[in-house]
Structure 1
Amino acid sequence: MRAYVLPDRRLQKLAGRFVWLDIDTEKPKNAAFVEKFPIDAWPSILVVNPEDERVIVRWAGTATAEQIERIALDGERQLRAGKASRAEEALARADRLLGERKHAEAAAAYREALAAGGKSFEGRERASEAAVQALSMAGDSAGCARVAREVLPGLRGASAARVAAQGLSCALELEDATARAAEVAALEPTARRLVDARGVLADDRSWLYDTLSSARAEAGDEAGAKALARRWLAFLDGEARRAPTPLARSAFDGQRLQAALRCGEPERMLPALVASERELPGEYVPPTNLGVLYLALGRPADALGAADRALAFAEGPRRIRVLVLRAEAQAKLGDRPGARATLERAVQDGEAMPEPARPRGYLRKAKKLLGELGTS
């Protein structure tokens, strides 16, 4: 978004009406901000009331320039609230609830706004996306998938793509196999159609490919999953070739690596990841991606070296990710005591972080690996 969306002239028009702030939530120096404004998904867009520092609009995930403009103007309208329709009032209430991270209540209010506003409601796209996002963040995978199905017929382009990807992701998380298969089958055709739709951001198109490939794997269609992963990788390779700078190109590295791993061709990514580390000295992500690749290629010594290079630059929660990678490399090299010590350090450092900043997924992984090292 920083490379492709935020420079859009549509947003430059708003410069005199808003103060723009770009926060790296993983840097320790920004811990106070994260504690005051906890983030549930990356990227997130917040519109903050300057008088009381209350979040009045919260948006999770990518957005087009047009959508960011709409989010900003919705926040401005709330600050200048006058006479509003029932749908607008429900939308404003939903935004406040989401700003307070009351996800389930926010989802209900977004759905109320949709019901009150009808098909002509100006905020329909945003309310639809936000309702599905909020249900996902509330941990209600069944509700997320169901509401995605309900709102998709009224959406087009970028909004439809994000709702389809989110709904399909939620469907794949359902524990009941029958319900999971039914929801995936209901959402998959729409997601397939939208993967080639116009006006969809590259990140969202990549998300669709990812979920569609996962859906095929879940159905036992390994050939279909790999075919989609190859299409996914070809798409991302094209985006990377068109990127204007090494930094913009590197934004696709992690997704390209996942696609290459999914289609069983990880070695294809080695030249690109080596180039990213060379061209972006001082960044932790390129050596981290290289470490993951080296593990997949059966080169744990190189993975350990890459993890150590990444640790020199990683800060905050991102260090936990790199420590887990380092421990995996140590374990592959047969250094069980070293791997255990690294994982213990990861858990200790991660749990010492403020609650909103803790990388829960990597902490769970570190504890799982510790358990495996202790019993095997």
Structure 2
Amino acid sequence: MIPFSKHCTAPREAQYVQESLASGHLSGDGPFTRRAAAILGAHLNGAPVLLTPSCSDALELAALLCDLGPDDEVVMPSLTFSSTANAFAIRGAALRFADVDPTTFSMELPQLQAAVTPATRVVVAVHYGGVTRDIAAMRDYCLARGLRLVEDNAHGLFASCGGQPLGTFGPLGTLSFHGTKNVSCGEGGAVVVSDPALLERAEILREKGTDRHRFLRGEVDRYTWREVGSSFLLADVLAALLTAQLEYAATIQARRHALVQRYCELLAPRAAELGLELQQVPSGYQPPAHLLAMLLPRGVERARVLVAMRERGVQATSHYEPLHLAPAYRPPLRRGALPSLPVTEDIGCRLLRLPLFPDLTLEAAERGAVALCEVLQQLGAGARGRAT
């Protein structure tokens, strides 16, 4: 069976973990945390990076920095993971879900404009698969209206738009180092602080609401509780694992891009014939090769496709269920009637992902692409037969 995802072991992982264990500094903000943050900052135009235990924690820290209340609304796409919504919901704000673009699968400027209300305070741009078209325009739109832009860039490390790294367009961005991501430490995340005015407070909130970071730098002789925060530090032993992954990132990315290219070489020429719609990468955009996402033909049951792919030895999978249709989205979290998000609902029913990880061979990717074409031919012919 070709698995959907598999951890790629970097050459120095075991060495760095052993060094961390030997150092005795296993808790947060140790030497490997500093090394990993420095590598990430170099990829992100020098923006400060604060490592966290998960992207969920990174989003919660970002939400704390937004100072939201029960009268405020946060706009985000419905096509995202529950962590995006949870982070802002627990701050007491209402959520207003937006639709997504049918080609990038991300919320772009038209969908954002349609969702914003006078109560909107924060906009969360979720870059699905690390792909977006209008992030610069959305940044300008938010700046003109006094809205804070937070980028949920869990999928998009190493992506760039017009030469600028994704995750640095808004004052705050978040990253994920979960086991399924391009670089991983099992569980981990980060906040990218592109607005210098937010950095000091972000460091306080991350350290249980204290100025311990200043104490550790020798700037004060003791640290005190400054405001309500939480514990958002990644264990340094996990940062050791992340450091090894980041040092190996060029190899990881080269392999992932080669696999995506091979998949597209096989699938794109047959997409129109099969009714397959591949996620589109806009011009001037450098994608992260995180996901290989596509929409199945209308009238073909995704569940049957997944079973048929498994019978052929390939573990394909679906993805997010639209959050605006989830049981948790009810008043006071929701204001008014359920939104009409036809593109999101269509994508939610038809989205399919194929295996993609660095140790996947080109031959295995070819098997996956060929298997999908065979399945769609078989099921598509059956669907056409039933329709007639």
Normalised to the residue count of structure 2, the TM-score between the two structures is: 0.27
The structure carrying a bigger helix percent of its residues is 1
Q: Which has the higher contact order (CA 8 A, sep 6+)?
A: 2
